[in-house]
Structure 1
C-alpha cells in the first residue's frame, strides 16, 4: 500500500470514528463537534484523492476549533454532563492517538514532496489535524479534570485557624 492509499484509509477511518462518536453521544453540542470533525476528515480525503489523481485543489479553513471553544465554555457551566463524558473517555483518547498519527503522516509526506503547492496543502492538512488533536486533548482533559484535583493538607484547614 502506498502512502497516499494509507492516508486515504486513515481519513475514512477517522471520519467513520467521529460519526460513531456523534451517534453515541447524548450531548447535542458534542454531537455537532463530532459531525464537523467527520466533515473535515472527508475534506482531507477529497484533497488526498485529488493528489492521487494528479490534480491539486485548494482547501478552505476549518472552523471546528472555534466552534469547539464555544462548546467547552457551555460544558464548563453544566456539571451534569461530566458523567456522560466519562463514558466516552477511552474514545476521546483513541481519537487523540489517531490525530497524532495523522499529523506525523502529513508532516512526513510534506517533507518528501517536491511540489511547493502540494507541500503547502499537506502542511495545512497537518495543521488542521493538529486542531483536531487539540479538541480531543481538551475533551479528554475536561473529562478527567475532577481526577486531577488534589486538596493540599496545608490549605484544607485554613477555616479552623
Structure 2
C-alpha cells in the first residue's frame, strides 16, 4: 500500500469511528463535534485522493472555530454524564488515531515530490494535531467533568489549524 492509499484508509477509519461515537451520544453539542470531526476526515481523504491523481489539492478549513464555540457552550451546562464513561476506550482509540495521523503526515512530508503535496501534508498534520487536542478535551470531560468546566481552554493555534 503506498502513502496515498494508506492515508486515505487512515482517514476513512477515523471517519467511521467518529460517526460511531456520534451515534452513541445524545448531547447535541458533542454529537455535532463528532460529526464535524468525521466530516473533516472525509475532506482529508478527498484532498489526498486529488493529490494521488497528480492534481493540486487544496486543504479545506477544518472545524476548529465551531468546535470552540460548542465547547464554550457546554461549559455552561451541567456536565455530569454528558459523555458516557463507556465511550472512553473509543475516545482513546480516536486520540491514538489522530496522533498516528499527525506523525504519519510529518514523516511522509519529505517523501513527497511536489510543493502542493508537502503543503497538503503539513496542513493535514496540523489538523490532525487539532483533532487530537479536541478528543483529548473530550476525554478530560468524561474523566474529570468538574475540572473540565473550571479549567478547560479552547484557544486557536493559528489559521492553519482549521
Q: Give the structure-2-normalised TM-score.
A: 0.83
Deviates more, 1:128-137 or 1:113-122: 113-122
Q: CA deviation at 1:82?
A: 2.7
- Identify the structure with the greater helix proportion: 1
Partner residue of 1:47? 47
Partner residue of 1:157? none
Q: Which has the higher contact order (CA 8 A, sep 6+)?
A: 2
Q: How does 1:21-36 map to 2 (within 5 A)?
A: 21-36=21-36
Q: Among 80, 83, 100, which residue is 1:82 paired with?
A: 80
Kindly name which structure, 1 or 2, has the bigger radius of gyration based on alpha carbons: 1
* 1:106 aligns to 2:105 (yes or no): yes
Alignment size in residue pairs: 147
Q: CA deviation at 1:147?
A: 8.9
Partners in 2 of 1:14 and 1:95 — Cα distance?
A: 7
Q: CA deviation at 1:121?
A: 1.1
Q: Which runs of 5+ in 1 are unaligned?
A: 149-161
Partner residue of 2:67? 68
Q: CA deviation at 1:5?
A: 1.0
Partner residue of 1:158? none
Partners in 1 of 2:118 and 2:55 — Cα distance?
A: 13
SS of 1:59's partner is coil
Partners in 2 of 1:24 and 1:75 — Cα distance?
A: 18
Q: CA deviation at 1:25?
A: 0.7
